[in-house]
Amino acid sequence: MVVLVNLKEDVNPEDYEHWILESYAPTVKSLPSVQDWRDYRVSGLLGSEAVPPYRYVVTVEIDDLEQLGRDMADEEMQGLLSELHRFAEITQLVSERFA
């Protein structure tokens, strides 16, 4: 899965990153369905001065989408997802590695 993230206007990037590192990422990484999690800051567009369309990109290696659905239904995850949506607008792309 690839997740594209833009912070809401009133969110301080340092607050978001601290929350991700201390709360969200450790919990997601511990889910049975998640094999790997990586969070990237987007610093620019190669060969362009334009503003990147997203502030962060997250990659998540998922073993089983059905299990992920069960994992995300957990009460703790529902609370964390609610917090995430207070920080950011997210787009989740279900993707499959082929090479």
pLDDT tens across the length of the chain (99 residues): 999 999 999 999 999 999 999 999 999 999 999 999 999 999 999 999 999 999 999 999 999 999 999 999 999 999 999 999 999 999 999 998 889
Its pTM stands at: 0.90
Q: Residue 96: what pLDDT?
A: 86
| 77 contacts 23 by C-beta, under 8 angstroms | no
CA distance 97 to 86: 30
pLDDT at 18: 98
When computed from its CA atoms, the radius of gyration of the chain, rounded to whole angstroms, is 14
- Domain positions in the chain are 2-93
Q: What is the CATH number of domain 2-93?
A: 3.30.70.100
Q: For position 97, what pLDDT does the model report?
A: 82
